[in-house]
Chain A
């Protein structure tokens, strides 16, 4: 991250914030529709979620408490840097606890702890267009959304079934929002898709390189695309988290040695830690201190 000798509140200038804010209001009014906006250079590379950062910068105020996660973890370089960035340019309080945050910026996960009314979840999105891999031309995908022509998407999913016997897509699994727009939920595991449905939190999506903002208001229908004979299913894990014993959460496989030793641990580090603090212990965990 480059030095920021002089900066505006939340880094962006007022005109840019206004432009992004207007896009956010339209996005909320048209759930799942991708609103174009003029993305700005941010003092971090595109892969770091500049779209999400610009959305957060445009909504954040001094009373907010910000949490940033990357693949479920609060302590990756990316998450730590973005948190430090906003602590500096917006003087906001930060947290790692989901329940304490008013804004949660995320890359690739939705927290395990159910979100609540008043919270805002900001997704960093690399590719906002769910139809992109079927049709690379923006003019065409725009037309498909306008005409609600989503047949190709179903064909693609059905080809999966023909080839693999099931829908093989596990990340960025397409959803339909409020019965109208097909939307890319960003590269979250499909495990998280059901959490988007009727969530009490406002969900905002920012794609910096692709100049798109979209939204799912609270209490909005988000349905994963599927077929009657092949209904949508989330991933299931054979074992619980090795550290906290959690089941029904998303787990990452961690390789322990070169002899095939491995364990599954919570991807949501905050949730795992809270569980261990509450006394939950997994097969390899011996309480919180030992686990760290």
Chain B
């Protein structure tokens, strides 16, 4: 059970606050990279960036979903329930937060919960680990939080991501929000962001 206890925040109050501010700034300023404080690695497929968002956002009031690879490692499941008490759900469509360790393990966006027209906030926030927040195909972003067009190039996004995202965006005010994490940073893509391929 060593891995279960280790890997949490050394100073939960202050670290949760600074992680939250990174997440808030990331969603308020889509496409920008924000430094994400991370705890020590727990030595599993659950990378520290996933751990720090998990610890900051989840508790027994939030259902969480881990992708199959993450779930297949008992240490990840134990870690999540020990430190957050969050109920684990088997279907992504029932999750308040979904943690995904790679694009290969990512279900299509429409498998998650987009919320309802009356309560669009009752939707899934997806935290997706990618190999890098740069070096991938160029995407251009527009929408709230951006003064001008913003250019990003995260690598390792799911195939047909732009097409899936367009469908998600058209659901507004319903829809899922996406947090991309890699290398101690986070990038936010709220449901309001319009994404086009190329510069």
Q: Give CA–CA (A29, B111) in the complex, Å.
A: 19
Q: Give CA–CA (A28, B193) in the complex, Å.
A: 12
Expressed in whole angstroms, the minimum distance between the Cβ of A181 and any Cβ of chain B is 7
Is the Cβ of A31 less than 8 Å from the Cβ of B57?
A: no
Q: Give CA–CA (A15, B120) in the complex, Å.
A: 22
Q: Give CA–CA (A143, B21) in the complex, Å.
A: 32
Asked if A183 lies at the interface with its beta carbon under 8 angstroms from chain B, I say no
Q: Which residue of B lies closest to A21 (CB)?
A: B20
Known: A14-B16, A18-B57. A28 touches B173 (CB 8 A): no
Write out, one digit per residue, whether chain A residues 132-155 have a CB within 8 A of any chain B CB (1) or not (0): 000000000011001100000000
Is the Cβ of B147 less than 8 Å from the Cβ of A29?
A: no
Is the Cβ of B121 less than 8 Å from the Cβ of A21?
A: no
Interface centre among A29, A146, A181, A202 (most CB of B within 10 A): A29
Known: A59-B20, A59-B21, A61-B17. A142 touches B118 (CB 8 A): yes
Q: Give CA–CA (A29, B169) in the complex, Å.
A: 11
Is the Cβ of A29 less than 8 Å from the Cβ of B20?
A: no
Asked if A33 lies at the interface with its beta carbon under 8 angstroms from chain B, I say yes
A35 — which chain B residues lie within 8 A by C-beta?
A: 121
Contact of A26 among B28, B58, B121 (CB under 8 A): B121
Q: Which residue of A lies closest to B174 (CB)?
A: A30
B121 — which chain A residues lie within 8 A by C-beta?
A: 23, 26-27, 30, 33, 35-36
Is the Cβ of A220 less than 8 Å from the Cβ of B16?
A: no
Contact of A146 among B13, B16, B118 (CB under 8 A): B118
Q: Which residue of A lies closest to B19 (CB)?
A: A21
Asked if A2 lies at the interface with its beta carbon under 8 angstroms from chain B, I say no
Expressed in whole angstroms, the minimum distance between the Cβ of A259 and any Cβ of chain B is 52
Interface centre among A21, A147, A198 (most CB of B within 10 A): A21
Asked if B109 lies at the interface with its beta carbon under 8 angstroms from chain A, I say no
Q: Give CA–CA (A35, B121) in the complex, Å.
A: 7
Known: A18-B59, A21-B57, A25-B125. A31 touches B192 (CB 8 A): yes
Is the Cβ of B59 less than 8 Å from the Cβ of A15?
A: yes
A59 — which chain B residues lie within 8 A by C-beta?
A: 17, 20-21, 24
User: Which range contains the number of A residues in contact with the other chain?
Assistant: 35 or more
Expressed in whole angstroms, the minimum distance between the Cβ of A278 and any Cβ of chain B is 29
B140 — which chain A residues lie within 8 A by C-beta?
A: none
Q: Give CA–CA (A22, B127) in the complex, Å.
A: 14
B16 — which chain A residues lie within 8 A by C-beta?
A: 14, 17-18
Residues 28-72 of B contacting A (Cβ, < 8 Å) = 28-29, 56-59, 61-62
Is the Cβ of B29 less than 8 Å from the Cβ of A218?
A: yes
Write out, one digit per residue, whether chain B residues 148-174 have a CB within 8 A of any chain A CB (1) or not (0): 000000000000000000000000110
A15 — which chain B residues lie within 8 A by C-beta?
A: 59, 61
Asked if A6 lies at the interface with its beta carbon under 8 angstroms from chain B, I say no
Write out, one digit per residue, whether chain A residues 30-56 have a CB within 8 A of any chain B CB (1) or not (0): 110101100000000000000000000
Q: Give CA–CA (A143, B59) in the complex, Å.
A: 30
Asked if A19 lies at the interface with its beta carbon under 8 angstroms from chain B, I say yes
Asked if B23 lies at the interface with its beta carbon under 8 angstroms from chain A, I say yes
Write out, one digit per residue, whether chain A residues 56-72 have a CB within 8 A of any chain B CB (1) or not (0): 00111110000000000
Is the Cβ of A28 less than 8 Å from the Cβ of B17?
A: no
Is the Cβ of A180 less than 8 Å from the Cβ of B172?
A: yes
Q: Give CA–CA (A17, B19) in the complex, Å.
A: 13
Write out, one digit per residue, whether chain A residues 111-150 have a CB within 8 A of any chain B CB (1) or not (0): 0000000000000000000000000000000110011000
Q: Give CA–CA (A9, B20) in the complex, Å.
A: 15
Q: Give CA–CA (A23, B24) in the complex, Å.
A: 11
A143 — which chain B residues lie within 8 A by C-beta?
A: 118
Is the Cβ of B177 less than 8 Å from the Cβ of A25?
A: yes
Asked if B190 lies at the interface with its beta carbon under 8 angstroms from chain A, I say yes
Q: Which residue of B lies closest to A202 (CB)?
A: B28
With contacts A18-B58, A200-B147 known, what are 5 further pairs, Cβ within 8 A?
A10-B17, A25-B57, A29-B27, A202-B28, A220-B145
24 contacts between A and B (CB under 8 A): A9-B14, A14-B12, A21-B57, A22-B57, A28-B145, A29-B177, A30-B172, A30-B173, A30-B191, A30-B192, A33-B121, A59-B17, A61-B14, A61-B18, A61-B21, A146-B116, A147-B117, A180-B172, A181-B173, A200-B147, A202-B28, A217-B28, A217-B29, A218-B29
The 9 closest A-B pairs by CB, nearest first: A29-B190, A26-B121, A220-B144, A217-B145, A146-B117, A217-B144, A29-B177, A61-B17, A219-B147
* A-to-B contact residues, CB < 8 Å: 8-10, 14-15, 17-19, 21-31, 33, 35-36, 58-62, 142-143, 146-147, 178, 180-181, 198, 200, 202, 217-221
